[in-house]
Amino acid sequence: MRWSQLHIPTLREDPADADAASHRLLVRAGFIRQLMAGHYSLLPLAMRVRAKVIDVIRSEMNGIGGQEMLLPSMQPASIWIKSGRLNVMGQEMFRLKDRRGAEMVLGMTHEEIFATIGTELSSYRDLPQFWYQFQTKFRDEPRPKSGLLRVREFTMKDSYSFDVDEAGLDKSFELHRGAYERIFARLGIPAIPVEASSGNMGGSDSVEFMCPAEAGEDIVVRCPDCDYAANLQKATSALTPVTDQSGPAAPQRLDTPGARTIEDLDRDYQLPGERQIKTLVQVIDGQLTLVLVRGDHPLSDQKLIDATGATEIRPAHPDEIREALGASPGSLGAVGVTKLPVIADLALQGRANMATGANTDDVHLTGVDVDRDITVGQWADLREVTEGEPCPRCGTPLEFVRAIEVGHIFKLGRKYTTSLGVSVLGPDGNAVTPIMGSYGIGVERAIAVIAEVHHDDAGLAWPTQVAPAEVNVLALSVTDEAVRTTAEDLYATLQGAGLDVLLDDRDVRPGVKFRDSELVGIPVRVSVGARDLAEGVVEVTGRADGRKDRVPLSGVTERVRELLAAQIR
């Protein structure tokens, strides 16, 4: 393709409000333009990258036996009512009506629709099945941001596995994990697999592929010594052992006028946070619930959701709390509470001689023995870990890393096959409900992440495999006949050698072509100019390392191939 025929509107100035480097560069180099918040037009350069990214993903999906399909984006609301997710998804799902008033939605994921296709499976002999697609997803994000990193309309490669039993699902899950690792390696994305929460998709095992990056909005908790890595919402740490001296036979009243916080009690009454029980009142799917964590531990909302299977949680209002417990936040406790459910963090298990609120303003209790004095309905891991706490596997202090989620795989269970009626006959002739897995990669986000990882001050620097073109041939003068024809010839030769080539034949000064080639980030540049041509050579330059070589015309293809291979990252 020739630059003179290609729409590459590069800008000389950065967009004003770009917060992520990838966004700034993708806009400036003419890859994308915003239409409205969270919706972007992909221009020709972006489409070239996107096609290559899709090719990589497709080849790996086919490699593990995936079959590509394409399911509608616009879907009847009824199918989401069947699965029970119409309400769960809430405001995040775009809804509309057709002219007859039929309720429709724009798909934000496709479990329901693939499960519908799955109803035609009839025998265990048909399983496993891996089905996938590249399809637009619509999500009414509350706050789109950072260019392509967080949008409301995007392409997702989503795949779904159907197996007869858990052992089969485990195998399918591992196949996808392997495929994902190869995909991100081939895309030049240094993704690390981490344990994750499965959110509102429903399911058990869940692994996110996270790429460390400044622009990231997630925190990965990682052990520098072993391979432990988890999303902050899921991460745990080894508990520093606390030895409790046995306390009195019953809780003791302690008047604590004015003491409202963990810190107040620590400072004024010598009750350190690790000896306190923090009582939080949450409304979990409408049910007022006491949530207990150690005084010095923060509550993880996501863990609470995961532990309770709730779809919605919120902190209780002060008046709700006062009505239920007769005291205000700051003096709350679970001792003797039986009319409200109590859920407690594992770190409180077996603890004795603790302090907590007495449900009377300005009064606390000490000498509280958790097992003896509190009726705990459910124990769960509820606390959010803090940087530096010991690794749960090896004890090394954990580190926090900002990261972007580029892929997510999880085991779904039978939620959708059950609700949508997928069933096959097993070897014994009895009906079996297949078990599903679900696996996603955000295509445009992956593009942005590659840009985020591979750029420098001069612009983008795409890895060869996904670059909008492999080689850029610059005709440094279009008026010099020898230069022009040599560039044309090289262009044809390189294309003939099977390379993806651009020819910059614009009537602009050489400096513009150099800058644009670097800004756009094409891995190898071949400069044809009168000066070198007089000696029968051209200049071949690698984008990533800036290495330049003067190469005779006959050796250009070979040299280009070498440099391209060196820039697969």
Find the binding residues for RNA in span 90-109 (CB under 7 A).
92, 109
- Please give the Cα distance from 384 to 549 (Å, whole number): 54
Choosing from 26, 121, 127, 151, the residue that interacts with RNA (CB under 7 A) is: 151
Count of residues touching RNA (by CB under 7 A): 74
Structure tokens at 503: 């020819």
How far apart CA 237 and CA 221 sit, in angstroms, is 10
Question: Would you state the torsion angle of the CA atoms of residues 180, 182, 184, 188, taken in this order, to the nearest 10 degrees?
Answer: 180
Query: Interface with RNA includes 279 (CB under 7 A)?
Result: no
441 touches RNA by CB under 7 A: yes
Phi-psi group of 115: left, alpha or beta (phi > 0 → left; psi -120 to 50 → alpha; rest → beta): alpha
Any idea which residue has 């392997």 for tokens?
178
Is residue 508 at the binding interface for RNA, with CB under 7 A as the rule?
yes
Nearer to RNA, 370 or 443 (CB): 443
The distance of closest approach from Cβ of residue 498 to RNA in the complex, given in angstroms and rounded to an integer, is 26
34 is a site residue for RNA (CB under 7 A): yes
Closest to 9 in 3D by CA, of 35, 33, 34: 33
Please report how close the Cβ of residue 232 comes to RNA at its closest, in angstroms. Answer: 10
Map the footprint of RNA across residues 183-222, applying CB under 7 A.
197, 199-201, 208-209, 217-218
Q: Three-state SS for 558?
A: helix
> Residue 538, interface with RNA (CB under 7 A)?
yes
Asked if 50 interacts with RNA (CB under 7 A), we say: no
What is the dihedral angle through the alpha carbons of 488, 43, 215, 207, rounded to the nearest 10 degrees?
Answer: -100
- Please report whether residue 135 would count as binding RNA according to CB under 7 A: no
Residue 347 exposure: Cα atoms within 13 Å on the Cβ side: 28
In residues, how long is the chain?
Answer: 569
Nearer to RNA, 94 or 124 (CB): 94
Confirm or reject binding of residue 503 to RNA (CB under 7 A).
Answer: no
User: For RNA, which is the closer residue by CB, 373 or 518?
Assistant: 518
Instruction: Provide, rounded to whole angstroms, the least separation between the CB of residue 474 and RNA.
Output: 9
CB 443 within 8 A of CB 159: no
Q: Restricting to residues 291-350, name those near RNA by CB under 7 A.
A: 301-302
112 binds RNA (CB under 7 A): no
Of the residues 101, 142, 258, 286, which one makes contact with RNA according to CB under 7 A:
142
* Residue 523 binds RNA, judged by CB under 7 A: no
Identified binder of RNA from the candidate list 159, 465, 527, 567, rule CB under 7 A = 527
Sign for the pseudo-dihedral over CA of 212, 218, 224, 230: negative
Binding RNA (rule: CB under 7 A), the pick from 10, 311, 386, 419 is 10
The set of residues, in sequence order, having a beta carbon less than 8 Å from that of 508 and lying 6+ positions away, is none
CB of 461 to RNA, least distance (A): 13
Which residues, other chains included, contact 534 with Cβ-Cβ below 8 Å and sequence gap of 6+? Answer: none
Calculate ∠ Cα 113-115-118, nearest 5°. Answer: 120
482 contributes a contact to RNA by CB under 7 A: no
The minimum distance between CB 246 and RNA, in angstroms, equals 38
In whole angstroms, the minimum distance from the beta carbon of 187 to RNA comes to 13
Non-local CB neighbours of 531 within 8 Å, separated by 6+ positions: none
Nearer to RNA, 68 or 165 (CB): 68
**260 makes contact with RNA (CB under 7 A):** no
Choose, by CB under 7 A, the member of 389, 444, 452, 505 that binds RNA: 444
Q: Report the site for RNA in 352-411 (rule: CB under 7 A).
A: 405-408
Residue 417 and residue 115 in contact, taking contact as beta carbons nearer than 8 Å: yes
Helix (H) or strand (E) run with residue 370 in it: helix 370-373
Which residue, 470 or 516, is less far from RNA as judged by CB? 516
Tokens encoding 266: 């620590």
Our finding on whether 518 is near RNA (CB under 7 A) is: yes
Q: Is 74 in the site for RNA (CB under 7 A)?
A: no
Radius of gyration of the chain (CA): 30
Considering only the stretches 8-16, 93-101, 248-256, 492-500, report the one whose residues sit in contact with RNA under the rule CB under 7 A. Answer: 8-16
Least distance CB 325 / RNA (angstroms): 24
Q: How far is CA 229 from the centre of its chain?
A: 14
- Does 529 bind RNA (CB under 7 A)? Our answer is yes
Interface with RNA, residue 226, by CB under 7 A = no
**Least separation, in Å, of the C-beta of 15 and RNA?**
5
C-beta closer to RNA: residue 75 or 359: 75
Q: DSSP letters of 164-176? A: SSHHHHHHHHHHH
- In this structure, are residues 373 and 351 in contact, taking their beta carbons and an 8 Å threshold? no
- Is position 456 an interface residue for RNA (rule: CB under 7 A)? no
Q: Indicate whether 143 belongs to the interface with RNA (CB under 7 A).
A: yes
CA distance 133 to 208: 19
Instruction: Kindly state whether residue 12 participates in binding RNA, applying the rule CB under 7 A.
Output: yes
Residues 419-456 as b/e (b if ≥16 CB within 10 A, e otherwise) read bbebbbeeeeeeebebbbbbbbbbbbbbbbbbbbbbbe
Nearer to RNA, 146 or 464 (CB): 146
DSSP state of 163: E
The answer to whether residue 141 forms part of the interface with RNA (CB under 7 A) is yes
Question: Quick one: 201 or 370, whose CB is closer to RNA?
Answer: 201
Using the minimum distance from each CB to RNA, give the nearer residue, 108 or 424: 108
539 touches RNA (CB under 7 A):
yes
**What is the nearest approach in angstroms of RNA to the Cβ of residue 457?**
10
Three-state SS for 549? strand
Q: Which of 97, 317, 372, 531 binds RNA (CB under 7 A)?
A: 531
Residue closer to RNA (CB basis): 125 or 531:
531
